[in-house]
Amino acid sequence: MAKTKLMKRIFPLNGFVSDVFVTLYIAATLYLRFVLEPQLQGRYFISLALGAFALLFLWALIKSRFIRPTFFGLMPPREAA
């Protein structure tokens, strides 16, 4: 019983934690793309596909309401439907 209460409190992630997660995720994927870019030897389509997949994954997390970013308080959180 206590485990389900804890899971409901932690997931979905609240606004600030979601903002930090999104910021770190975007920074990590950009770093990964900058590191991989020289090794791809001019095959930029692979880098673009990797970036598109990373954004698609982030979009899916937001759409499933697993993370609820508020852009560091600039956008009010949406109410659950």
Report the distance separating Cα 76 and Cα 67, nearest Å. Answer: 14
Q: What's the confidence (pLDDT) of residue 27?
A: 94
Length of the chain: 81
Mean pLDDT in runs of 10 for the chain (81 residues)?
Answer: 55 77 92 87 86 92 85 65 52
User: Is the whole-model pTM more than 0.75?
Assistant: no
Q: Which residues pair with 39 in a beta bridge?
A: none
